[in-house]
Structure 1
Amino acid sequence: MAKVLIVAEHLDGTLNPATAKCVSAAQALAPERIDIVVLAADPAGVAAQAAQIAGVARVLTVANPANAHPIAQVLAPQVAALAAGYTHVFGPSTTFGKDLMPAVAARLGVNQVSDLMAVEDAYTFKRPIYAGNAIITVQAPADQTVVATVRTASWPEAARGGNAAVEAAQVDVPLPSHTRFVGLAAGKSDRPDLQSAKRVVSGGRGVGSAENFQIIYRLADKLGAAVGASRAAVDAGYVPNELQVGQTGKIIAPELYIAIGISGAIQHLTGIKDAGTIVAINKDGDAPIFEVADIGLVGDLFQIIPELEKALG
């Protein structure tokens, strides 16, 4: 029977919803047990949140001042040591997980399964390739620990209501000193986080300028939505690159995705293929975005968006 260890992602004392999505992926294995490990300087608060996820048997805490910031080179040796006795080690396919899990796999001497999106059995999985244009089946060796990143856009959050035991774990491994935390620069915003938002409004090259992008921000605020952008808009300097959605940006699965002035290159569509309802607004009726949109409006976005704002009140 499978025994799964999930590495919790958290920031400023708050558990990232991606962790609960990893639990959903782990449950698809029908495992004997699912444990979560929280590595932090003071893991108690995050551990209490993780313990509430249904299906989790135990939450392990590793308290160490060195874990105050999520540095892969520092966390990886500890996770690899804790992996003993587990058949699977999962992390989210977020910036955090993509940084950490390959280092864990290297420590364990195994290949990583990336972007796990479906489970066929304990060692057989499906993952996307070619910018999501194809899905392949991969089989991991049954005699090795499976280290995987979970494609969070493909899994729902596991339910709450759990009451897992919280236990302190002792990890005695040498930690590197050549990599250290210097600082974190993050934009301040009252809008929802792009990667976990239920509603997202994105703008593309068709918006025309950084100044014109205010029309995207206003609509997003009306809807209580996060703001995203295509790579073309980011490359043109309209918005910072942390707003980029797509193959080389963020992979998201909101309930509502509104694409404004976005043509719909395959690299962008990769990032939204799991969205619930896609609304496209573009003056080019032949734009590829309309092939995947549930609702399409052909017209000038600078006329349509103000009318839509009025209708929203």
Structure 2
Amino acid sequence: MTILVLGEQHGGKVKDSTLATLGAAAQIGGDVHLLLIGSEASGAADDAKSIAGVSRVLVAADAALDHELAEAAAPLIARLGADYDHLLFSSTTTGRNIAPRVAALLDLAQVSDIIAVEGPDTFQRPIYAGNAIATVRSTDAKKVITVRGTAFTKAERGAGSAEVQSVDAGVNNDKSSFVSMDASESERPELTSAKIIVSGGRALGSGDAFHQYIEPLADKLGAAVGASRAAVDAGYVPNDYQVGQTGKIVAPELYVAIGISGAIQHLAGMKDSKVIVAINKDEEAPIFQVADVGLVGDLFKILPELTEKL
């Protein structure tokens, strides 16, 4: 049995989301190959070949594959997929964009957002915003799967010695082109890979209050900053801060929810966190049902004191 994992990289390093997907591949079992695409792929291959469990790193170093456009990447992956039993993608923006197109090209039914492996053809995935877990079995000859990274142990760097092989991209993309990207820059950890996350909700009341109260605490803790959908919709912070079913799925060691009521949509994105601390003036807030530590009170009084004592 052979498995192909689409690798995502940045700055010459394989992303943590891909390491988690490789962890899922290890549970499925078999010979695992990692595909890197784009003009920076060759640089990331040095990092990729040392990852535990990877036997071969495939490098398609073609500039036409830069920015991971699905219209360019999917035909290549579908072509390579003829030699594999499983095609795995991280359940990231990139993976969720490319995988369905690959599945369509191969005429397969995609298995989305798996959180556990019961066998080569049987997986668990959350449904109804994580309130129920479905066990699904795919009878397709090949499996196209997206993997929820927070559910799997990351493959270790420095514990492997894979061979590196170049592949011909053969890209002919006349359907889309990259125009520009407006990305926010931050010295804080990336949200989906952070060990500590401090999130704020609509109770902050404004973007200025969000920056004044949430960010100093996050800086003291060395944490990433997140937000509820209500805070994002109100314009307090950008969309990429959003944690939840329609935002980012996270599972840090510590999640601090401040002024967040705990709607199902938000809980679906963070309830797998190891320790959850909730601060809210409403003692009946749903967030307290999943919190390990709850503090009822006025966040505008609690946060400055808490930040000062850290």
TM-score (norm 1): 0.96
CA separation in 1, counterparts of 2:78 and 2:143?
12
Cα offset for 1:6?
0.1
Asked if the contact 2:9–2:41 (Cα under 8 Å) also holds between the matched residues in 1, the reply is no
Q: Which of 246, 249, 263 is residue 265 of structure 1 equivalent to?
A: 263
Q: What residue identity is the alignment partner of 1:305?
A: L
Asked if the contact 1:279–1:294 (Cα under 8 Å) also holds between the matched residues in 2, the reply is yes
Q: Which residue of 2 aligns with 1:205?
A: 202
Aligned-partner SS, 2:304 = helix
Q: What residue identity is the alignment partner of 1:30?
A: G
Q: Which residue of 2 aligns with 1:98?
A: 96
Q: Which residue of 2 aligns with 1:299?
A: 297
Q: Which residue of 2 aligns with 1:24?
A: 23
Asked if the contact 2:56–2:162 (Cα under 8 Å) also holds between the matched residues in 1, the reply is yes
CA separation in 1, counterparts of 2:247 and 2:106?
28
Alignment of 1:147 onto 2:123: no
CA separation in 1, counterparts of 2:282 and 2:125?
33
The number of residue pairs the alignment matches comes to 308
Q: Which residue of 2 aligns with 1:60?
A: 58
Cα offset for 1:12?
3.8
Q: Which residue of 2 aligns with 1:6?
A: 5
Asked if the contact 2:3–2:86 (Cα under 8 Å) also holds between the matched residues in 1, the reply is yes
Q: What residue identity is the alignment partner of 2:99?
A: M
Q: Which of 182, 185, 188 is residue 182 of structure 2 equivalent to?
A: 185
CA separation in 2, counterparts of 1:187 and 1:225?
16
Q: Which of 202, 227, 231 is residue 229 of structure 1 equivalent to?
A: 227
Asked if the contact 1:82–1:171 (Cα under 8 Å) also holds between the matched residues in 2, the reply is no
1:76-103 Cα distance to aligned partner (Å, 9 max, x none): 0011111121100001001111111111
| Larger relative helix fraction | 2
Q: Which residue of 2 aligns with 1:76?
A: 74
1:293-312 Cα distance to aligned partner (Å, 9 max, x none): 01111101111111111111
Instruction: Note the residue ranges of structure 1 that are not aligned, 5 or more in a row.
Output: none
CA separation in 1, counterparts of 2:167 and 2:274?
40
Cα offset for 1:235?
1.0
Asked if the contact 1:81–1:171 (Cα under 8 Å) also holds between the matched residues in 2, the reply is no
Alignment of 1:156 onto 2:150: no
Aligned-partner SS, 1:68 = helix
Cα offset for 1:171?
3.8
CA separation in 2, counterparts of 1:70 and 1:39?
8
Cα offset for 1:118?
0.5
Cα offset for 1:209?
0.9
Cα offset for 1:107?
1.1
Asked if the contact 2:13–2:48 (Cα under 8 Å) also holds between the matched residues in 1, the reply is no
Q: What residue identity is the alignment partner of 1:275?
A: S
Asked if the contact 1:205–1:236 (Cα under 8 Å) also holds between the matched residues in 2, the reply is yes
Moved over 2 A (4+): 11-14
1:54-81 Cα distance to aligned partner (Å, 9 max, x none): 0110101011120122111100001111
Q: Which residue of 2 aligns with 1:107?
A: 105
Cα offset for 1:42?
3.7
CA separation in 2, counterparts of 1:14 and 1:67?
17
Output the aligned Cα RMSD. 1.1
Q: What residue identity is the alignment partner of 1:101?
A: A
Asked if the contact 1:246–1:270 (Cα under 8 Å) also holds between the matched residues in 2, the reply is yes
Asked if the contact 1:80–1:108 (Cα under 8 Å) also holds between the matched residues in 2, the reply is yes
Instruction: Note the residue ranges of structure 2 that are not aligned, 5 or more in a row.
Output: none
1:21-58 Cα distance to aligned partner (Å, 9 max, x none): 01110111122x00000011142111111111101101
Q: What residue identity is the alignment partner of 2:85?
A: T
Q: Which residue of 1 aligns with 2:133?
A: 135
Aligned-partner SS, 1:186 = coil
Asked if the contact 2:191–2:241 (Cα under 8 Å) also holds between the matched residues in 1, the reply is yes
Asked if the contact 2:89–2:147 (Cα under 8 Å) also holds between the matched residues in 1, the reply is yes
When residues 290 and 165 of structure 1 are mapped into structure 2, their CA distance, relative to the original with a 3 A threshold, is same
Asked if the contact 2:278–2:287 (Cα under 8 Å) also holds between the matched residues in 1, the reply is yes
Aligned-partner SS, 2:194 = coil
When residues 223 and 279 of structure 1 are mapped into structure 2, their CA distance, relative to the original with a 3 A threshold, is same
Note the 1:237-252 alignment, pairs <5 A: 237-252=235-250
Q: Which residue of 1 aligns with 2:218?
A: 220
